[in-house]
Structure 1
Amino acid sequence: MEKVDYLVVGQGIAGSLLAYELLNAGASVMVLNKETEESSSMKAAGIYNPITGRRMIKTWMADELFSGLEAYYSQLEQVLNARFLYPKSIYRPFFSHEEQNDWAGRLADDAYTPYLKQIHPGSRQIPGVLDDFGGLELKKCGFVHLPNMLKAMRKWFDDKGMYRSEVFQYEEMNVSEGEVKYKELRATKVVFCEGPAVAANPYWNSLPFKPVKGEILEIATNLPENEILNRGVFVLPKNGKYSVGSTYDHDHLDYKPTAKGINNLKGRLKKIYEGDYQEVGATAGVRPATYDRKPFLGWHPEFPSVGIFNGFGTKGVSLIPFFACHMVNYCLRDAELLPEVAVSRTYE
């Protein structure tokens, strides 16, 4: 019977980076995962952006998350000998003089200056882009090409003999004090990193997840390839095309694009872009969001050998590098979890 320190179930962004950091910290790991194109990580746009939301404020823990984010993925590219990090500025058109003035005031705010590349007082004259009032250019942004990254990580794990391609069967797992047995594997702990598939997990499916479907329209058009247009929708240059996203649907949790979703995206796109384009495809995915928009990390209250690392929602690319290291410090070095992410907050 093969013995490892940790079983990691799932190989999306969460499972990949947690397994990678556990291994770097000296633990032995086996990753169990069934490859599918219909996973939240494979479908995600992969954008990272420190200034988000309708009110355009710093995202939660922005300074901690973004200070070393690009360096993290860049180093991972070197380890895996793969290309998947694409730093790009984000351009957000203003819709009024008031908005323009508000951001001019924020130029003096030290909390925002690390992320502000430039404020444009008038239109940049980009063909088709509706920015009569100018706009805001952000830095420390871009996207991670997740299919490229995850395929490279899978090969890296496989080459080290620490990857198995299989659908996890919960009924085959036996949990006792200090040990987990799964088929012919023995481990000290198991950590589930399953994204929306947690709905079928008998240990964790009662947690207050709030999964949300998102649809993306793929178009061919002529826009700058060195930046992401973002106002109401994002327009992301990727693979020679442009991804326009995204929608939010809590009621239909499938992986099928819909006419309603695509029409919604086209209507929002029209507010910032009037150039000609051709529709070339559409995709849909389900994000593993939670009731309070914070991830779930930690051990099961009744089965302390059973862990979870899930619930990163729409911001997995920016959250997971930091929290994979945070989880490893908790697992191996007895560090405390931040209360905001500890799964124990749901038991209180």
Structure 2
Amino acid sequence: MLRSRSRAASIYAFLAFFALASLIGKSNASLGDHLPDFKECVEVCKTENCQDGDSVIPFHLRLMLWTCPAECDYTCQHVVTDRRVSRDPPMLTPVVQFHGKWPFRRILGMQEPFSVLFSLLNFLAHWQGMNRIEENVPRWHPLRKYYLGFGYFGLASWTFSMLFHSRDFPITEKLDYFGAGASVLYGLFLSVLRIFRLDQERPKYKPTLRRFWTFICVLLYSLHVCYLSFWSWDYTYNMIANVIVGIIQNVLWTAFSIYRYQKQPRTWTAWPGMIVAWIILAMSLELLDFPPWHGLIDAHSLWHLGTVIPTAWWYSFLVKDVQDDMAGERLKA
């Protein structure tokens, strides 16, 4: 129970930290937004149905913050898309995006139900992984808190992902982007800390380097959030920043994996490199960006699904890593 409360408190802390920045943002239009029949459909729908507020919206949709204008927008997206699909040949790509997103079929009021489901699976993979760390890594071990930190960032990131894919608002979009950015940057922080063993207190210069590296990461993330929030909500910049940080840590873990396997040729020492390869293959799904199958599953949701197994696998490596470190310390003693 205490563990659950502690993790929930950490997630709420992230929500509070990002709340102000999340209220500031811009939205980009898509091809579907400019279609004359879509605009006409939305206006007619609002005129005929929205005079009495949201009373025509079912209660379960109002719980998910659907309003009458939003309901008209959603309905017209599918009306226009169905017309285009029945009228145009497939090579003309009749399915277009609206407000930067494909026209998904919602379930229980969730805009992208399978992205929500697969985000939940990632959340559970982190939750279970943290339980394994807590059960198998003693409290005195210096890596324990950093490995648990990886889990907390993962829990927060996937919580924000579930919120955003459930309902796309400016604040949920900000939380999703900032949570993902924090998780990616913490991955880089952890890679440098673990590979160069900055978690150790000896030699004396390591604690100083650790504090300096922590300061650098916090500063970079703060500048990143401030730029997106108060200067320009730049999707391209955000993507490039996350890709660069991800590439650096992937290179570090791959090189570490090769070096360690050469010194200690056991299968588990090669796991980081294998996990990186899996993640890269899963990320390639994002490049496809095809319309959702039956309005439900698209490339982005499959990318979320593709990260579940490597996340669970990663925690297996973290446990093995600490166990091997403790065995080495016993041999030295």
TM-score by length of 1: 0.25
Bigger proportion of residues as strand: 1
Q: Higher Cα Rg: structure 1 or 2?
A: 2
Bigger proportion of residues as helix: 2
